[in-house]
């Protein structure tokens, strides 16, 4: 990482909810074998995130930032360690992990991962459709649809909710992805390079939207990013270095 990169968190962004952490990660470890070499990507990572906090994670390309986020969000199973949300230990694989992932985490990815054949509204509804069985879905369909419409309106897409992803700009697609991530009211929003595929104006717009969600709703977020402006807007910045997380300390060049 270029030591002159301005990743230092905004000093005005004090942690709004000190106390017991909402999200706790303990001794998260992950290795991959490449040929005859064992590559240790995560080496016993420990992490606490308080409710209402925005934590930015930075690091060199290939340092394992996305791997860490995927393991926190139960998208992949670590070799060792545990993840807890509100003190509840998360299952790390199988159907129970899928259920916990749907309940506790919302995801925003660099490349949106929207379903192109469905409208913006239908994409936002997907997490709720997954969460509910058929009977529960039909009983609550009107309420859930209303929530999806309200979420799209809240991200500035009230007039675009029937458009499909190919009909939307990159910034609009990311707004749909953010609305989808919030559909099930997850305690933790995990964002993997949410501005990495956007031009500067769109990236700034997404950054402002994320921070508005935090200010208005107290949404807890963990954001992996190379975007110095996005990282610096959070309450705290940490760096993934040699498989471990450390408080980021800006140094002079």
Question: Domain containing 69 — which CATH number?
Answer: 3.40.50.300
Q: What is the side-by-side strand order in the sheet with 88-89?
A: 37-50, 21-34, 80-85, 88-89
Contacts of 21 (CB under 8 A, 6+ apart): 48, 49, 50, 51
- Residue 108 covered by a domain: yes
Domains contained in the chain, number:
1
Please choose, from the candidates 172, 179, 182, the residue with its C-alpha nearest in 3D space to the C-alpha of residue 121.
Answer: 179
What Rg, from alpha-carbon coordinates, does the chain have?
18
Contacts of 252 (CB under 8 A, 6+ apart): 3, 4
Please give the model's pTM, rounded to 2 decimal places: 0.89
Phi, psi of 2 (to 5 degrees): -65, 120
Phi, psi of 249 (to 5 degrees): -120, 115
- Residue 37 covered by a domain: yes
- Residue 6 covered by a domain: no
Q: How many whole angstroms separate alpha carbon 100 and alpha carbon 82?
A: 14
Please choose, from the candidates 99, 184, 100, 106, the residue with its C-alpha nearest in 3D space to the C-alpha of residue 147.
Answer: 184
What averages of pLDDT result for each successive group of 10 residues across the chain (253 residues)? 47 51 96 88 96 95 93 95 95 91 95 96 96 89 96 96 97 97 97 94 94 94 93 93 85 45
Q: How many whole angstroms separate alpha carbon 115 and alpha carbon 90?
A: 28
Counting DSSP H helices and E strands in the chain, the numbers are 7, 10
- Residue 41 covered by a domain: yes
Phi, psi of 107 (to 5 degrees): -120, 135
- Residue 253 covered by a domain: no
Please choose, from the candidates 162, 210, 215, 163, the residue with its C-alpha nearest in 3D space to the C-alpha of residue 190.
Answer: 210
pLDDT value at residue 8: 53
pLDDT value at residue 9: 54
- Identify the domain containing residue 192 by its residue range: 21-247
- Residue 3 covered by a domain: no
- 76: tokens are 């992949």
- Residue 80 covered by a domain: yes
């Amino acid at each position: 990482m270029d030591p002159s990169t301005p990743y230092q968190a905004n000093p005005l962004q004090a942690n709004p909810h000190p106390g017991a952490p909402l999200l706790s990660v303990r001794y998260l470890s992950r290795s991959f074998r490449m040929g005859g070499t064992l590559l240790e990507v995560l080496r016993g990572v420990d992490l606490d995130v308080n409710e209402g906090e925005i934590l930015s994670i930075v690091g060199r390309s290939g340092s394992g930032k996305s791997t860490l986020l995927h393991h926190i969000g139960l998208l992949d199973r670590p070799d060792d360690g545990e993840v807890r949300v509100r003190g509840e230990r998360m299952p790390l694989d199988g159907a129970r992990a899928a259920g916990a992932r749907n309940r506790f985490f919302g995801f925003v990815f660099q490349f949106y991962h929207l379903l192109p054949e469905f409208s913006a509204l239908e994409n936002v509804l997907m997490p709720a459709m997954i969460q509910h069985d058929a009977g529960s879905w039909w009983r609550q369909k009107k309420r859930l649809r209303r929530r999806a419409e309200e979420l799209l309106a809240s991200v500035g897409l009230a007039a675009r909710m029937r458009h499909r992803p190919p009909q939307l700009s990159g910034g609009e697609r990311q707004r749909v992805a953010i609305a989808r991530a919030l559909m099930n009211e997850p305690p933790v929003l995990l964002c993997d390079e949410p501005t990495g595929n956007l031009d500067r104006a769109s990236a700034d717009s997404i950054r402002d939207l994320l921070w508005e969600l935090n200010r208005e709703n107290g949404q807890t977020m963990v954001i992996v990013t190379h975007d110095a402006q996005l990282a610096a807007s959070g309450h705290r910045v940490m760096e993934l270095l040699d498989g471990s997380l450390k408080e980021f300390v800006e140094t002079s060049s």
